[in-house]
Structure 1
């Protein structure tokens, strides 16, 4: 039999990735890889680790292999039906929380919720917020519901999030008004070669690209959002590294004010938004 130390040495993957996979297989914490590294492993555990390592070598994302991804301090379940939460999207949560900082019982709408990472992170940070999470994918909504059930206090003041199967705002009650609307829509252009590279090959295409110019979903959101925003409500949209100017122009043309773009930790203009006066 092999031990953890020998198995990691023999693995061709980057050591961080190998450790994540081995911890997942063994159910060990990081410290146990140190304190139990000479402990003999079962043939079954070795086989499962090697199978996962082979899948990772073929490009399958770590988050899908272990079924988890950390986001905004919470651990979300991930499946191939949803976009893997990424650190840069935490900016969208921060902007939403800033927009509702002075509101009591604020109403928040997340369009294209996927895992529910953005909506649930907002709901977790603001227990009294009432949150709606929208996705056109029933499978994605199932994942988001599971994450909400596991991560949110069932007795939170704002109640459980409302999950709505909808093509953007089509099935949202038109009488509702939201203090902030957020969205991480598909914004990669359909002919972008990155869609056939790396982790993106394994994620749902419809969550990544509009199969057009990368702006069609953003146009729809900007067009419809004012009908659902409270007076002086905010809209924030995540977009591609080179789309900020185009998104600002769309927001201004629709009548948004205080239009601006915010940079992520890498210094990239990652989110753009503004306020709408009803």
Structure 2
């Protein structure tokens, strides 16, 4: 049997955490895990029932997880602290025996995502992780300024992040980049993409440069924007370039088994297959 890539052990000042047992290469799937228990968005009574229906073994694992909300009933506090959504926009969630142990860092080295095809949560290394290093992810999944992150983490999880971004008091450059990314994102999402696609592609490229500048993540959203704008205005060679970037991003962060990877593999092979391809006629986006 292949040696596990991780071990769960005490993490100083954090309770328990996940650590690499050997060097892990970027793009490696570290763990793919089925839920201990599902929680569907059907109301508090069903949530409590789901906990009560757990096996004794799974309930033991569940109760051993951190509870950052002592003001709430224990089961609800554990769920609020540890549950992960079953998809980016899903209101359904689940708790996991191992993955729910992964600690937070804004300087993450893995991405977690729900694979609906496998019905498992997956953890992929987003950078090379040396043996002995803690495996950490971002609980917030949002671009925020230092102050916004610290407030949200304290309110939701009861701790102060000590990553390289949060520990530094001189965060003006980082915060300025985050705020500009938010501005550009709003402009891309507004009518700008329809009224001036060249400008929108420019915003996409600006955001990608800013993300590189702050060693951030989240490029896939903007690769998608670049692809969709290019396909909409019949720039199919450019659309393929964006689709290829997005495909590689999904491969690294989520693996090659899943709906998103398969969809963008199709778009990479044939950008004209996108449902909005050609809707805007043709506008040359070369050099935008």
Structure 1-normalised TM-score?
Answer: 0.23
| Structure number with higher relative contact order (C-alpha < 8 Å, ≥ 6 residues apart) | 2
TM-score normalised by the chain length of structure 2? 0.22
